[in-house]
Structure 1
Amino acid sequence: MTTQQITTAVPARRRAHWRTAGSLAVVLTAVFLAHRHWPVLESGALRLAVADQGWLWVGVTTTVLTWGCAALAQQGAVARTLPVGRLVAAQFAASAANHVLPAGLGASAVNLRFLMRCGLPAARAATALGVKAAASAVARGVLIAALALACPGVLQVPGVPPAALAVLPVVAVGVTVLLRGPLGPRCGRALAAVRADIREVHARPSRAVALWGGSLAFALLHAATLIAVTQAVALPLPPAQVALLYLAASSAAALLPTPGGLGSLDAVLALALTAAGAPAAAAASAVLGYRLLTVWLPLVPGLLVLGVLVRRRAL
């Protein structure tokens, strides 16, 4: 073996070792999380064992479809055609990573790395994630507004304390100072890049339909999963009301930087269902069933897929 071949082989072996170590770390994380939360998994499984199995299978189906909708929305945010199989696998892995790191960092990191592996520069990949996130937020807001009109009186908008109103001018002045200072040109370039990508995506109707359709369907299917679980445990609330409470509760829980909303979404959603008239035990069972279908059951397989994608250099 020549000196050049040896020089080339050493970094390759190091990268292989790092990929192996990363895959092993992912597997160990999955085992640790399953062991740590085993009482929750066991009690939830026992509760769901006596629930309506037909509705639970509906919940399983809608959960699986959410990964396809996430892939559709991600493709819609990118002008370049992405490999379908790896794109769906990346969304499945991203959903698992999102439950390990706080505030959506896991999913963003996986998708950013995936887009870069598909040939997008880092800046364009980050912009694509921003476009997808913005579309998701707008779609969720539209759904909440439509369901609030269909279910009047369900959502109670809290009053704004005077102290918060007094802080708003201070925040506005601070933002203005930052934008006029060193951050101004950078923010301007970033916003220009986002606007350019939005125009490029919406210039192609298929991409625009994928972006907005995938974003709307993703939120609706998560709400449908909760509705299926509430039907399985015979929770006495109308489906439209359950969907509205889920969308509002998940939007509020997103403000708290916990991994995948664990703890924050559970508490807010259970409180919302109980305040709407559901028995506390049924509300807790519904939230637990929703978490089992969307988090705990796919968690270990999702992390294993993440490890495989890292091993195969797809991430």
Structure 2
Amino acid sequence: MRDHVPALAGDRIARTEVSRQLALAEERLTRTLGGLLDVRGSAAVGIRWRDRDGERQFASSRSFVSHLSDLCDRAFSLCPRVSNELINRRTLSTAAARARSLLIEALATNADQPGLGLSSQNTPPERAIYLSVLQKGGIHVQREGRWEVRIPEGGEDRLNFAPALNAIARILKPVGYEVLATRLRGTDFGMRDGLIPLVIAIYLRATWHETAVYEDGTYLEQVGGPEFTRITKEPEHFEFQHCAIEGVRAELYVQLGAALETRLSERPALLDIVRPLMTFVGKQLPDHSRRTRRLSPATLAARGALLSGRDPSALLFTDLPKAFDIEAIGPE
């Protein structure tokens, strides 16, 4: 309801109240179902269970719970296997939410450091989550002397994160945060809300050179803990987009990288070029230079494109060429 009623989109107070009422209703439903389906002790012995495998009865509550566990394993076979209950919950405690935010911030800023630069003294909760998810899952690894966040593959995917991370990649067109979250909650994944922001943050860090994030249409240079706090509170304001380069655009990418003296990724990544340009114009260019009209028409058009750019691909291959009376550059 809160995600599909247009009237709630701009009313934070109403959304908060709806969320509270939904939580109360869910709690009442859980209590009611718990009373009807009490499988403790000998209660499960009299249960007649039907599913796609047929009908069966159980000799004990243990056998019944084991069967339910097998069904869930099949239904949510693509879900990451995270045993840390600090993060793998529907609703996080205040301390766990803060730990998740600190971990996401470390992902955004310290991916090149051992342990993401998190304090190891007394193992604070953010480090405990790091150890049980990113380290154990083969997500934050050292390669050729450098630490990096990557999408694990094959036998290195010890916690089954690859299916969820690859599912995110398939639907970035661009797409809103809530669409991603709904996919991860849904069929095959069944992911809990406490884990979803961290999984999306992992994907962003692993594919940062080719994934753009927008808040109300404005490109975000960095997406860390504070940004994800806003994302989880007001997801309708955020969009994610995959930025790919192919064909003749890849050749131009190399030439632009050389001209701008920019360090390029091994794989062509559009944002390697766009980020420095937008950062320079948006943050490093003096205020007078951003406002003056005493420039050539082409320079004014280029500055305008950089200041108002929303789509990195359109900016680099359509808007900037147009500013200099050059035809848009297609992929072929």
TM-score > 0.5 by shorter chain: no
* Higher RCO (CA < 8 A, seq sep 6+): 1
Q: Which of the two has greater strand per residue? A: 2
* TM-score after normalising by structure 1: 0.26
Higher gyration radius (CA): 2
